[in-house]
Amino acid sequence: MEIKQTGVEWLGKELESYGDPGYCKIEWETLDLLIQQAKEMEKEQMESAYLAGESKDKQYYKETFK
């Protein structure tokens, strides 16, 4: 079974790539784009788990993404 990086883990790595958090300068537009990408990754991972029958809460998935 392949272990994939979650959207939140991905976002953390992306933000770390911008340098020291104490001196990090990132445009809000860039931050919004990264957050949207992380949300899409999370949605795709949940959808894959749901379709594979691995989702523990199918009702949550249906209410959130359908």
Show Cβ contacts of residue 1 under 8 Å, excluding neighbours closer than 6 positions: none
pLDDT tens-digit map of 20-51: 767 767 788 888 888 888 888 888 888 887 77
Query: Which amino acid, residue 6?
Result: T
Q: Please give the tally of structural domains in the chain.
A: 1
Domain span at residue 29 reads 8-14+24-65
Residue 32 belongs to a domain: yes
Residue 1 belongs to a domain: no
Q: Are 65 and 47 in contact (CB under 8 A)?
A: yes
Residue 43 belongs to a domain: yes
pLDDT tens-digit map of 10-25: 888 888 887 776 776 7
Residue 39 belongs to a domain: yes
Residue 29 belongs to a domain: yes
